[in-house]
Amino acid sequence: MGNQHSVERQLRHARGKPVNEKTLKELDKVFCQNPENAHDGVWNVVRDPGVEHRRRGRDAKQRYVQARQAVHLSLAASHGHLIGSSEAKNGHKIAGNDQAADKPTWVNCVGEQANRPLVIVKPESLQQLVAVLADAHSLQQRVRAVGSGHSFSDITYSTDAMLVDMTLLKRVAMVDNGEEGIVGTTKPVQVKANKAERGVPGPAGDALLTACNRSRNLARVQAGVTIRELNEELDNRGLALPNMGAFDGQTVAGVMSTGTHGSGIGFGPMSSLVRAIVLVVADGTVYQIEPASSHVGKGPLSDPAAFPRTIDGLPVVLRQDNDWFRTALVSMGCVGVIYSYVIDVTEAFHVRELRSATRWDEVRKELLPELWAPVAPAVAGAHHFELVLNPYMWWSHNSCVRVERNRVTAETQPSGARKDWLSTLLEQFGIHSIPHLLGVLKRFPAISPIAINRAIATLVESGPYVDKSFRVFNLGPANSIKAMAIELHCDAKQCVPVIDKLLDVFRDEAKRHEYYMTGPLGIRFIGASDAFLAPQAGRMTCAIELDMLVGVETGAKLAQDIKERMCTDSIDSPRLHWGLDIDLVTDDDVRSWYPDFEAWHTVYRQLNSTGMFNNKFTDRLGISIL
């Protein structure tokens, strides 16, 4: 007991109070079972939570400062960086070098998911990107790549890691123009008909859609270009993306890697456009990853015998492997840093949009499970079918807007205009800005159903709106709202029972807790994906987006309750969008929702064998490499 009394005296001196007999017995057990590590055991028994928290905070801060200094010194020595400057001699740009050790230096687009990386680098070439990963490998530091920060989850978590900002890598070129330095390509092999041509019906006379699906226009795009910038580049060439989401501020790699999507049952998510991926892994090896067979995507892109084996002067390994391709397509930054893609694009086209008022109790009759043989006629009747739904009843029904978009030729003249429902809504409530609206909704949450109903009413158009595809697909002014979201992805055939249950949950949450949504539900239908971990993996999908204004504290609580009440541990469960899960998906979820998780995990363990791409997100999913 001598050791115990010595420990007791030290603790009494540190904390100003004696240790009771029960604690002494626990200490005796600690010393007997593991004397070599007794100090840690002692603190586990008697620690003061506040003191221990502060001690760990000081230790973490010290480790951060030491690691940051080591990283900066290494970068300066190997690449001539100017420590403390935002400019580097060879093109890297470093931010945050002069920041306090406890001050976040990177946040996402809505000011959340604050991070404190060791260093922020902005490579402008493949050589620089490879050099950054080589430094990280030699220093045994973790790496996380980011784009424009439009993820609301901890996918981008980079505290105590090297953050690679990809936004300066934004070149776009066509495969057949001879420009080098983005991907290694040869003359493409024969393009295979995709799912939209193999039995998924569309509206009568959809020759334009078929032509789009058979397009052999291939673009080479670097990972950091935003969808907005890509649209401009393609439009200048008389080309367009075959499909896109409702927002254009994300980078291409962010869109592809999280399963982001547009609408249209004849189209998969955006990652379905990908023909090849150029990926830099932990040891600096550069791979060009393609499918090995026509059973995945549109099959292999390159002829191995003629593959150039270099990009921008660096050696590249061509890996034609179905599992690698299906893993890297939607990998959330966990298997390496994506440098570029080859994607399908098509001739420019216009879209005709028509919005009409309806009610959920009417439109649900057209979407019942028995009508999906293989696709419900309402969904098959338009290239892009969507619904905007008030989750709350008003005058005994849920108001709804039906959105039908069909492709027309580029020669069709633009006409009509889309209403700015946001400005109209503010005007109707006599509110002059979004912050004022936020204040009203926080103080009087029960007015949300009225506000949503009025917003929906402003969406209905008197006639069709026709314009360039990317202008019609884009949601417009509503994207300026500082909002976050979760999105449920369910089997399209089960959309009616899932939405009915969700509406019941909304009513119950409002009644029990006064938790209210601050916007309508956006409902879209999407084709299945080959990617192992795409939310649309293996099934035609109905995506239900739940938007919440940032600053309404009950929004996150409501989202968590919805996830717990709507999602199960079954393979048939709704899945959450990776960029919109607000840290709710668990390790049990990912293993039960995705039948090919083990195949994804096998490739992940090969490509992240050193743990370089571990972060808070991989910890949450239980996949971090130790």
Give the model's pLDDT for residue 466.
Answer: 95
Q: Which of 141, 165, 189 is the last residue of a domain?
A: 165
Bigger pLDDT: 224 or 86?
Answer: 224
Q: How far is CA 530 from CA 194, 220, 242, 373, in A?
A: 11, 21, 18, 21
Q: Are the C-beta atoms of 64 and 100 separated by less than 8 Å?
A: no
Q: What is the mean pLDDT of the chain?
A: 81
Q: Are the C-beta atoms of 381 and 324 separated by less than 8 Å?
A: no
Same-domain status, 226 and 341: yes
- Confidence label for 116 from pLDDT (cuts 50, 70 and 90): confident
Same-domain status, 149 and 210: no
Q: Which of 348, 365, 392 is the last residue of a domain?
A: 348
Q: How many Cα atoms within 13 Å fall on the side-chain side of residue 325?
A: 29
Query: What are the start-end ranges of the E strands in 256-379?
Result: 274-280, 286-290, 310-311, 314-315, 317-320, 337-347, 349-359
Q: Is the model's pLDDT at 557 over the cut of 50?
A: yes
- Length of the chain, please? 626
Same-domain status, 451 and 516: yes
Is residue 375 in some structural domain? yes
Give the model's pLDDT for residue 192.
Answer: 42
Is residue 534 in some structural domain? yes
Is residue 591 in some structural domain? no
Of 64, 385, 62, nearest in space to 200 by CA? 385
Same-domain status, 150 and 194: no
Of 97-106, 156-165, 341-350, 575-584, give the lowest mean pLDDT range: 97-106
Distance of alpha carbon 141 from the chain centroid: 24
pLDDT in tens, 409-429: 988 888 888 776 666 666 666
Q: Which of 100, 133, 165 is the last residue of a domain?
A: 165
Same-domain status, 89 and 226: no
pLDDT in tens, 145-173: 998 877 778 888 888 888 999 999 999 99
Q: Which helix (H) or strand (E) holds 542?
A: strand 541-549
Whose structure tokens read 């004849």? Answer: 266
Same-domain status, 299 and 438: no
Q: Is the model's pLDDT at 177 over the cut of 70?
A: no
Is residue 603 in some structural domain? no
pTM greater than 0.85? no
Q: Is the model's pLDDT at 67 over the cut of 80?
A: no
Classify 252 in phi/psi space as left (phi over 0), alpha (psi -120 to 50) or beta: alpha
Same-domain status, 343 and 357: no
DSSP string, 134-169: HHHHHHT--EEEESS----SGGG--TTSEEEE-TT-
Q: Are the C-beta atoms of 478 and 388 separated by less than 8 Å?
A: no
pLDDT in tens, 460-504: 877 899 999 999 999 876 656 666 778 999 999 999 999 999 999
Q: What angle do CA 259, 261, 262 make, to 5 degrees?
A: 180
Same-domain status, 415 and 522: yes
Is residue 611 in some structural domain? no
- Confidence label for 619 from pLDDT (cuts 50, 70 and 90): very high
- Give the range of the structural domain holding residue 546, as residue numbers without chain letter: 350-585
Same-domain status, 329 and 360: no
Same-domain status, 129 and 259: no
pLDDT in tens, 288-329: 999 998 888 889 999 999 998 999 889 999 999 999 999 999
Give the model's pLDDT for residue 583.
Answer: 85
Is residue 192 in some structural domain? yes
CATH number for position 116: 3.30.43.10
CATH number for position 516: 3.40.462.10
Same-domain status, 328 and 357: no
Residue 449: cis peptide before it, omega within 30 degrees of 0: no
Give the model's pLDDT for residue 152.
Answer: 75
Is residue 623 in some structural domain? no
pLDDT in tens, 9-55: 544 444 444 556 666 666 666 666 666 555 555 555 555 555 555 55
Q: Is the model's pLDDT at 578 over the cut of 50?
A: yes
Domain count, the chain: 4
Is residue 625 in some structural domain? no
Alpha-carbon gap, residue 367 to 500, rounded angstroms: 12
Q: Are strands 162-165 and 119-121 parallel, antiparallel or unpaired?
A: parallel
**Amino acid letter for position 161:** A
DSSP string, 409-457: ETTSPPB-----HHHHHHHHTT--SHHHHHHHHHH-GGGHHHHHHHHHH
Alpha-carbon gap, residue 600 to 122, rounded angstroms: 29
Same-domain status, 391 and 523: yes
CATH number for position 325: 3.30.465.10
